[in-house]
Amino acid sequence: MTKGGRGGSSGDRTAEIRYGKAQVSFYRTYAKPLRVTPIPESAFTGRENVLFAAEVDVDVFGDTFLDAYTAGDNRDVVATDTMKNFVYTMALEYEGATLEGFLAFLGRRFLQTYPQMEALRVRGREAPFVPATSLDANAQRVGPSSILFSRSRDDTAVAEVDLAREDLSPRVTAATSGREGMQLIKVTGSSFAEFHRDAHTTLPETTDRPLFIHLDVRWRYADLVDAIGDRVDRYVDPEQIRDLVHCAFHEFNSRSIQHLVHEIGRRVLARCPQLAEVSFEAQNRTWETARVSESDERVKVYTDPHATFGRIGLVLRR
């Protein structure tokens, strides 16, 4: 079935068709520099994009591919290896500066080049490299290098763009941006108390605890033009959202993770009026206390918790 809801016929059955290429990585040098509108919570104002790198997934939809499944007829099938090479070519041709913009550009070009594709979804995950440390030409001052980069294993930007044909022209139908893989520990200023208790409850109440969370944040724009970076002055970079999350977590004395993510979401929507929705997927990875100092109760040793963990989700719309 295509993303528009139509299904292909397979005898007395209907079929839902999807195929594509996963984990296509590329490393583009000297893309267009990015400049964004600053926000108070973040020092990020842009990047030079000397290295623009990502991993891309492509999923193609369309009833025209049904014969490949039912009769082994591959005449309309675009090989997934061809898709991989097409991504490389588009990465070279892209003249923009954002992951979302690249995905929209890639999707449009796919639909323009291959008329048998009715709709597709392209997903991207930033492959982050940060400038390494270097001395200036006079060996006087330490600063970021413009040619040497260190691969980061930290949280990263993600995006997803859906496209379909409208009057034979490719059109973006949906887009989501995000920041995945944040792992944040706050050593004081969080609590969890006065929750429901019964015969199965063994968790003690805590009025001040170290709170360690894993957190993914995603957001949608009110206007799709903003979502794909066509108006960079209204683009919200994932690094800005990450920094806003940090500021909110630092300042807010939360009574639960639910309380925390709601506060973060409220602040994101207040700070970024171009966003229509923000959502969270959080995991409670709070450490367990192993030892406490007899002379100073602030001094403690913690250990990782049991393998099980709490999951908290929230979607907050304007």
Looking at the chain, list the stretches that DSSP marks H as alpha helix, in order from N- to C-terminal side.
Answer: 66-70, 80-93, 99-113, 224-227, 238-251, 257-271
CATH 3.50.50.60 fits 180-317, yes or no: no
* pLDDT at residue 4, rounded to an integer: 39
- Answer with the residue of higher pLDDT: 4 or 141: 141
**In this predicted model, what pLDDT tens digit does every residue of 43-77 receive, in sequence order?**
999 999 999 999 999 999 988 899 999 999 999 99
Question: In the chain, what percentage of residues exceed pLDDT 90?
Answer: 83
Range(s) of the chain covered by CATH 3.10.270.10: 8-177, 180-317
What average pLDDT does this structure show over 254-264? 97
Instruction: Write down the pLDDT at residue 9.
Output: 53
pLDDT the model gives residue 14 = 83
Cβ neighbours, 10 Å, residue 89: 12
Query: What is the SS3 assignment for 56?
Result: strand
pLDDT in tens, 109-158: 999 999 999 999 999 999 999 999 998 777 778 889 999 999 999 999 99
What integer is the mean pLDDT of 219-235? Answer: 91
Average pLDDT over all residues of the chain: 93
Phi, psi torsion values for 229, nearest 5 degrees:
75, 15
Classified by CATH at the fold level, domain 8-177 comes out as Urate Oxidase (3.10.270)
pLDDT score of 10: 53
Interval 185-198: pLDDT, tens:
999 999 998 999 99
21 is annotated as an active-site residue: yes
Burial of 254 (0-12, 13-18, 19+ CB in 10 A): buried
Q: Are 159 and 106 in contact (CB under 8 A)?
A: no
Structure tokens at 6: 């139509």
**pLDDT for residue 54:** 98
Find the mean pLDDT for residues 212-218. 97
- Place 5 in a pLDDT band, splitting at 50, 70 and 90: very low
| Higher pLDDT, residue 168 or 312 | 312
Residue 308 has pLDDT above 60, yes or no: yes
Lowest-pLDDT choice from 141-145, 160-164, 211-215: 141-145
- Non-local (6+) Cβ contacts of 117 within 8 A are 60, 61, 62, 78, 110, 111
Nearest of 283, 268, 270, 266 to residue 238 by alpha carbon: 268
Residue 3 annotated as catalytic: no
Place of tokens 């099938």: 77
Catalytic residue from among 2, 80, 173, 206: 80
pLDDT of residue 1: 34
Q: Cβ distance 83 to 117 under 8 Å?
A: no
pLDDT at position 266 over 70: yes
DSSP three-state, residue 231: coil
